[in-house]
Structure 1
Amino acid sequence: MKFFTRTLLASAWVLCSAVASAQEFAPYGTAKVDMHEYPTINAVFDLNYENPGDLNILYNFVNNTRTPLKGKMVVVTHGPELRVFAKENYEKYQGIVDRMAELARNGVEFRMCSNAMRAAGFQPSDMHGFITVVPAGFPEIAYLQAQGYRYINPIPLPVKDVRYLDQPQLKK
């Protein structure tokens, strides 16, 4: 009986300590949830990525934006990533190009800055058919904003597994 009582008391102490400890680390309470609906909003994505692989992150950004906003989505590309859209690079970037073409089939427009394209050594005929070449990238963004599009600068930083970034790493 003494063993049972001691075990019960020890368990209660551990439980109370855990609850108290959890409350110490949550001095501001718990987050509220407001899963409201959005009105239809058109958006323009300002795309200027150094690493072509970051377009995979853009794919998720656009999908996660277009679904709740239900509006028109336009991607304006004017950086080093534009080489991905060149037909000559299709084999190298096939997976990425196919994902961007999927977005285009789902109504996302891709517009490319002719200045950046020419500076990179390309012509409009070098690009895949879902690309529309426009006079200039920044003016195109301003033009769309004047039409009511909301500006989005999708910085290519993934959030997957960030919860574990501050965890101490085990030494090998």
Structure 2
Amino acid sequence: MKVLIVFLLVFLFASGEEKGAKLEISESTYPSVKVVYDWNLQGPEAVDKALNYIRNHLKAYSEYAPLEEVEIVIVSHGAEIPVFAKQNEKVFQKTVERLKNFHDSYGIKFYVCYNAARAFGFDKEDFFPFVILTPAGVAKLAALQEEGYRLVPAIVHNFKPVKEKYGKKK
């Protein structure tokens, strides 16, 4: 009789219908990794959204893997470069604070393309101390990949109109 009850319970749990997607979590979900984010954004205003991707990346590792297992660097070589310039600190104050926080708290390195910086009229002394100037951003991307970093392109979208149209209705 006990065997029959156990069998029925196992059968009921095994045949139960799932109510949604399965969250995939295992020891291999987020392995130790080095990543380089490729920033060639439309402008400094897009940096906050790009930083949200970095935040989500760090959050995934803090919740599902040891945080020490991820190393993140960013190579900036687009129209976002003025956000790294000291002269624009007041204009982008909150964004600059976030950049500094990511650097100080998580050791994230920010490489800025010196070629692109000069195209904006900036020179070495114009940038914050947490910035590392690299002669050519695209060459740095290739060099980091050669060192074992995985490339993550930063593609920033405005989700709001899509969410309003197709997101879950309340």
RMSD (Å) for aligned C-alpha atoms: 2.0
1:104-148 per-residue CA deviation (whole Å, 9 max, x = no partner) reads 112110001111011111001100111000111011000000011
1:44-88 per-residue CA deviation (whole Å, 9 max, x = no partner) reads 000011231211111111122234273210010011110011101
Instruction: Measure the CA separation in 2 of the matches of 1:128 and 1:121.
Output: 15
Q: 1:142 to 1:90 in 2, by over 3 A?
A: same
Q: State the number of aligned residues.
A: 139
> What's the offset of the Cα at 1:162?
4.0
Higher-Rg structure is 1
Counting aligned pairs with the same residue, the percent is 34
1:148-172 per-residue CA deviation (whole Å, 9 max, x = no partner) reads 10000121115467443237xxxxx
What's 1:155 paired with?
155
What's 1:82 paired with?
81
Any unmatched runs of 5+ in structure 2? 1-18, 62-66
Q: What's the TM-score once normalised by structure 1's chain length? A: 0.74
Any unmatched runs of 5+ in structure 1? 1-28, 168-172
Q: Equivalent residue of 2:34, what SS?
A: strand
What's 1:38 paired with?
30
Q: Which moved more, 1:42-51 or 1:59-68?
A: 59-68
What's 2:127 paired with?
127
Residues 43 and 78 of structure 2 are in contact (CA less than 8 Å); yes or no, is this contact kept in structure 1?
no
Residues 66 and 72 of structure 1 are in contact (CA less than 8 Å); yes or no, is this contact kept in structure 2?
no
**1:25-64 correspondence runs (5 A):** 30-36=20-26, 37-64=29-56
